[in-house]
Structure 1
Amino acid sequence: MASVVGCLGDAGSSSTPSVTYRHRYQRSGLDAAPNDAGVEMGLWEDEGIDVKFATSNGSQQAVKSVAQGNDTFGNAEISAVLRQMQEESSIRIIGQVIDPMAGVVSTEEAGIESWADMEGKTIAQYPFGATGPLAMAALEKAGGNPDNVETRNMQPGSEEALLMEGKADAAITYFPQAVARLEKNGYGTNVLILSDVLENLGVALITRQSVIDDQSETVNRFVRGWLQAHKKFATDLDGVIDVYRDKVPQFDEELARETVGPIYASRVPDPDIGTSKGKGWTSTDQLETTLSVFQDAGLLEETRPVEEYYTNEYIEGNQELAVETAEAYYEQLEDNYDVGPNYV
């Protein structure tokens, strides 16, 4: 597709469009940092759009807020996005934010070095969301038997304590921060990454179809600012942290910096895609795989034709910037971080 997005919709308007952008969780670690920095550093303003960024208490809440028209844009785990789209079709994916960052985290003492090692162990999981069912789907796909795993529920924030106190052998959780905390306390760690087995997508950038139809240029400006914000996260980490530091209660900067390598790696697709299509590109094949995985895990009852879920229009229309953004991350990873082949 030619780069004509900037010529569509309300491009002739002299007023600055104002939109809201809803994040899937409260601020923790560096996850929300690019968005806060994008607002505070005026990166969306430079693209001619006023963005008000706010947090929420989970992906489901963020998706519903966008679907109900309370927010213009949002980001959420794709499991919550797809479940919402089963109920009604107003939500559309307009970009990929990060690859899945969930894994089965354990200390070295637990001896869980492969998926088969999960059998006979006690695994802690959240009583909500998709990570528990997806981990069992990954175990089964890897040749294991979920019936041979004992699970127990945990609440967010309790993961590392459960492992250090020996109340669980492993936890299914967001792994960069869990690993950093465990290692800071002197524990060696092992991680089984769910997406290595399932090849599923992670967090998606979303809006409503009506916004795409009626405010195409506003969507274009938002996507450009979003790309600029993520590029800044790769090229000026210190500046982003300076902006972000005071926004996070009890911000542990040392711990957060320990997670930068895997976080950077999660922000871009495979280099074959990133260097040709750029950051934010949604792969048709990977979305089809994700839909299949979620159905097999009992997280989706039905699916639609894949093209009804997303559009790459705004990434295609800003391909040069999208590729520049991806390449900034690849350069940082190559020069400064050793995250291993599981991440990129």
Structure 2
Amino acid sequence: MRDRRGILVAFGLALAAACQAFAGPAAPATPAPLRLPMGYIANVQFAPFYVAVEKGYFAQEGLQIAFDYSFETNGVQLVGAGQLPFALVSGEQVLLARAQGLPVVMVAQWYQRYPIAVFALAEKGIRTPQDLRGRTVGLPGFFGASYVGFKALLYAAGLSDEAVKAVDLGGFTQVAAVKEGKVDAAVGYINNEPLVLRRSGLPVHVLDVADYTALVGNGILTNERTIRDQPDLVRRFLRAFLRGLRDTLRDPKEAFEISKKYVEGLSGENEAAQWEVLQATLPLWQAEMPGRSDPRAWQEMAAVLTRMGQLKEPLDLHAAYTNAFVEEIWPQVERGR
């Protein structure tokens, strides 16, 4: 008769080996520092990342995150040059960068809805995109996500560039321009400027760009070399982020409290306003599979940029993004792993 203890030991070793193989390679014992360009100032809208850090999700993956609140274009250039592995960027930046020869790739589309909107005081009577005909619309500048979203809305409504008078406000002064009547409407982020106007007691009508056309929202950028040579780094980073995103969607109040450690002004007089910002942002992230890109949105984004003259030649859109990592990782995260 065989020794049952030997059988149990062998079974235990086999089970441990199988579990380790399923979980993937072990994270480094000492977390590796990783600078992450955020593209914006410290803000409650980055709550999933703050949650992932505070709950130790990045540390469990062997990563020590340092938030870099520099300009979005800086992150694109650094990742494209291979100097940093990741950055947070808007979808149009990916295509514009690839058009310049930068081998960048979006590996998770964090914002499922493009967060840009055109807003106006209710008294202006602007309730549909067609109501913008002949009106003056203010933008922070003729660049970036606001400009792309504005143009996409016009094109979706069948309006020519000449049908609306676009005004460069020379900065992020859209709220003041609308309140003071300098413009009939303005372009901004749906979870920001319209909320500010409403909190001041002014009725506002909002045209949500995502209601009229599908565009690629903000996401996580890496480069072809990192995907090829360090796919496990991509997996570990995305697993930690998606766990933070999952927890934020499930318990926004907890995420808000965690964010107070990273963002000034989330307590006291501004607390209610910033809580409203987070609540308005959550729907922009929600999806059956958070992080997954819609191929149609990439096609529409390319079409808009081409019509704007920002893309001169067709691009291989399939090279600009991949869903492979999210489709592998999200089911694990959803099950609580």
TM-score range, shorter chain: 0.7 to 0.9
Does 2:49 match 1:35? yes
Are the equivalent residues in 2 in contact too, given 1:72–1:207 (CA < 8 A)? yes
Distance 1:180 1:324, change over 3 A: farther
User: Relative to structure 2, which stretch is displaced further, 194-203 or 184-193?
Assistant: 194-203
Deviations 1:207-252 (A, max 9, x none): 1111112211111111100101111212232332222224334342
Separation in structure 1 between the aligned mates of residue 94 and residue 64 of structure 2, nearest angstrom: 25
Q: Say whether residues 1:78 and 2:88 are aligned partners.
A: no
Matched, 1:313 2:324: yes
2:280 pairs, out of 256, 262, 267, with 262
Distance 1:145 1:89, change over 3 A: closer
1:198 aligns with 2:213: yes
Secondary structure of the 1:69 match is: coil
For residue 219 of structure 1, what is the aligned residue in structure 2?
234
Give the TM-score normalised by structure 2: 0.84
Please list the CA deviations of residues 272-296 of structure 1 after superposition, one character each: whole Å capped at 9, or x if unmatched.
xx1xxx1111122322222122212
* Correspondence list, 1:1-344, <5 A: 11=25, 14-15=28-29, 16-28=31-43, 30-57=44-71, 59-98=72-111, 99-127=113-141, 128-251=143-266, 252-269=270-287, 274=288, 278-321=289-332
Greater gyration radius: 2
Q: Judging changes above 3 Å, is the alpha-carbon distance between structure 1 residues 94 and 140 closer, same or farther for their aligned structure 2 residues?
A: closer
* Counterpart-to-counterpart distance in 2, 1:7 and 1:155: 55
Residue ranges of structure 1 left out of the alignment (5+ in a row):
1-5, 326-344
Cα separation, partners in 2 of 1:310 and 1:133, compared to 1, 3 Å: closer
Deviating more after overlay: 220-229 vs 173-182: 173-182
Alpha-carbon distance change, 12 to 233 in structure 1, aligned in 2, over 3 angstroms: closer
Shift of the alpha carbon at 1:156? 4.5
Query: Does the 8 Å CA contact 1:102/1:131 hold for their aligned counterparts?
Result: yes
Between 307-316 and 239-248, the greater mean CA deviation after superposition: 239-248
Structure 1: 4+ residue segments shifted above 6 A: none
- TM-superposed CA distance for 1:7, in Å, is 6.3
Give the letter aligned to residue 182 of structure 2: K
Aligned to 1:103, what secondary structure does the other structure show?
A: strand
Distance 2:21 2:172 in 1: 46
**Farther-moved stretch of structure 1 (316-325 vs 291-300):** 316-325
Letter paired with 1:66? V
Q: Alpha carbon RMSD of aligned pairs, Å?
A: 2.3
CA distance in 2, matches of 1:147, 1:110: 20
Q: Which amino acid aligns with 1:218?
A: L
Normalising by structure 1, what TM-score?
0.82
Is the partner of 2:65 in helix, strand or coil?
strand
SS class of match (2:260): helix
Q: For residue 33 of structure 1, give the secondary structure of its aligned residue in structure 2.
A: helix
How far apart are residue 112 of structure 1 and its match? 0.6
8 Å contact kept, 1:49–1:218? no
How many angstroms apart in 1 are the aligned matches of 2:61 and 2:28?
13
Q: Distance in 1 between matches of 2:164 and 2:21?
A: 55
Residue in structure 1 matched with residue 5 of structure 2 by the alignment: none
Contact kept in structure 1, 2:27 and 2:62, CA below 8 Å = no
1:12, distance to aligned residue in structure 2 (A): 5.9
